[in-house]
Amino acid sequence: MGKNFSLLAKTLYGFEDLLAEELRKLGASAIEKGVRNVSFEGDTGFMYKANLMCRTAIKILKPIHAFNVFSEDDLYQKVYDIPWEAYMDHRGSLAVDATVFSKKFTHSKYVALKTKDAIVDRFRDREGSRPNVDLDHPSLRINVHIDRNICTISLDSSGESLHKRGYKVASSPAPINEVLAAGIIMMSNWNGQSHLLDPMCGSGTFLIEAAMIAAQIPPNINRREFGFMSWPDFDNDLYDIIEAAAVKKIIDFRYKITGYDLHPAAVKAARENVKHANLQEFIRVEQQDFFSSEKRSEGPLRIMCNPPYDERLAVADIDAFYENIGNTLKRNYAGSQAWLISANMEALKHIGLRPSKKYKLYNGKLESKLVCYDMYEGSKKRK
């Protein structure tokens, strides 16, 4: 393998510990947790593996230059001076993303535009032609991060966000992000040791992520491309070896994963996604009203649920809806552990159960709470 270099994995708020542990198990070195990110070191093969295998990463960035920057002209010149011909061809295409935390630089889109101008001007001056801008499928995606006066330029090895796993061919209203779903399942410490139910499964994201975790299937095995695949130094043979090694670690598991949804369109979407992910042997999706259902299996059951918040998906009486969730769990699901995420803090109070665990997360821009309810068989005191 080649020489190690610095990398940065971006994640969602609250998943830093999960991602650091994932990277540790994969073999990363020099791991340091930040806010919504984890820095680490690895070689080219490890960068490929991190993109393929990390369930809680959104992006894997490769920093290439860092410098102090004090003005727009300063930014332009220092970006211009980077030898971009080592990273892409002038006949290729690029896209630039920027994040800024600075008093001098307050508009991320302007920073991205200034960076793009410097890169294309360098190519025009040296090659007589310039790369095009392609926001969807560029040859090179570049990330600019400005924190006060420190500017870090990174190559985005992932391309599209890693939550786009490649298995979702159908959707339903207010779907949960795949990385968020995987992280919640991992926070619940479920790894295929019991049956699992999503009683309001929508397009099936919890079901699919749970099956992939239980069977140790690489989360991004269904993706057609990563950003690094269009880099000049992409080693296709090395990637094939890493992918084959990951596939060899896939295992079977003996429990069932079940999804309910009241709406036929959601059931159809979930089934299509499950089929596209090739997980039909592990997952069953049914049209079923959770409020008239009961626990079918012997032994422990894990329930994962992303109920409506009355935000993107309206509910006539949201408080009564959440009260029904609590009543159904109490009456019909003894011996279960239920994990719910919701951004409706007031409605959560109407579940009428005391959570054994609770965590602050974000679903998109919505501050949310992840709660766990332990539904005991018989007396809790006896337990």
Domains and CATH numbers, the chain: 5-156 (3.30.2130.30), 178-217+230-375 (3.40.50.150)
What pLDDT is attached to residue 379?
40
Helical (H) or strand (E) element with 245: helix 236-248
pLDDT exceeds 80 at position 33? yes
Provide φ and ψ at 20, rounded to 5°: -60, -40
Q: Which residues touch 278 (CB under 8 Å, ≥6 apart)?
A: none
- The first and second tokens of residue 186, run together, are 């991992």
Counting every residue written for the chain, the total comes to 383
| pLDDT band for position 307 (cuts 50, 70, 90) | very high
Answer positive or negative: Cα dihedral of 266, 267, 273, 279.
positive
pLDDT exceeds 90 at position 234? yes
> Lowest-confidence range among 8-22, 141-155, 168-182?
168-182
| pLDDT band for position 382 (cuts 50, 70, 90) | very low
Are 334 and 341 contacting, i.e. CB atoms less than 8 angstroms apart? Answer: no
Question: How high is the mean pLDDT of the chain?
Answer: 94
Question: Rounded to whole angstroms, how far apart are CA atoms 9 and 20?
Answer: 9
Q: Residue type at 287?
A: Q
What pLDDT is attached to residue 182?
98
What is the residue-wise DSSP string for 128-158?
A: SS-PEE-SSS-SEEEEEEEETTEEEEEEESS
Question: Rounded to whole angstroms, how far apart are CA atoms 213 and 208?
Answer: 9
Question: Rounded to whole angstroms, how far apart are CA atoms 136 and 157?
Answer: 14
Phi-psi region of 377 (alpha: psi -120 to 50; beta: other; left: phi over 0): beta
Other residues' Cβ atoms within 10 Å of the Cβ of residue 82? 18
- pLDDT tens-digit series, residues 313-333: 567 799 999 999 999 999 999
pLDDT exceeds 90 at position 310? no
DSSP-derived 3-state class of residue 126: helix
Q: Which residues touch 346 (CB under 8 Å, ≥6 apart)?
A: 319
What pLDDT is attached to residue 377?
73
- The first and second tokens of residue 47, run together, are 């960068």
**The residue to which tokens 């708020």 are assigned:** 13
**What proportion of the chain, given as a percentage, has pLDDT over 70?**
97
This prediction has a pTM of 0.94
- The first and second tokens of residue 82, run together, are 């980077």
Distances (CA, A) of 288 to 181, 203, 362: 21, 14, 28
Are 31 and 38 contacting, i.e. CB atoms less than 8 angstroms apart? Answer: yes
pLDDT exceeds 80 at position 43? yes
**What proportion of the chain, given as a percentage, has pLDDT over 90?**
91
Q: Residue type at 116?
A: K
- pLDDT tens-digit series, residues 114-144: 999 999 999 999 999 999 999 989 999 999 9
- pLDDT tens-digit series, residues 165-213: 999 999 888 789 999 999 999 999 998 999 999 999 999 999 999 999 9
Q: Residue 86 carries which DSSP code? A: G
- The first and second tokens of residue 54, run together, are 């990390």
DSSP-derived 3-state class of residue 20: helix
**The residue to which tokens 């896939």 are assigned:** 250
Other residues' Cβ atoms within 10 Å of the Cβ of residue 106? 11
Helical (H) or strand (E) element with 37: strand 37-42
Question: Rounded to whole angstroms, how far apart are CA atoms 336 and 364?
Answer: 28
Question: Rounded to whole angstroms, how far apart are CA atoms 111 and 267?
Answer: 44
Query: What is the tally of helices (H) and strands (E) in the chain?
Result: 10, 15
Are 116 and 96 contacting, i.e. CB atoms less than 8 angstroms apart? Answer: yes
| pLDDT band for position 1 (cuts 50, 70, 90) | low
Question: Rounded to whole angstroms, how far apart are CA atoms 127 and 229?
Answer: 24
Task: Read off the pLDDT of each residue in 30-35 and give the average, rounded to a whole number.
Answer: 97
Question: Rounded to whole angstroms, how far apart are CA atoms 225 and 53?
Answer: 14
DSSP-derived 3-state class of residue 206: helix
Question: Rounded to whole angstroms, how far apart are CA atoms 65 and 87?
Answer: 12
Q: Residue 176 carries which DSSP code? A: P
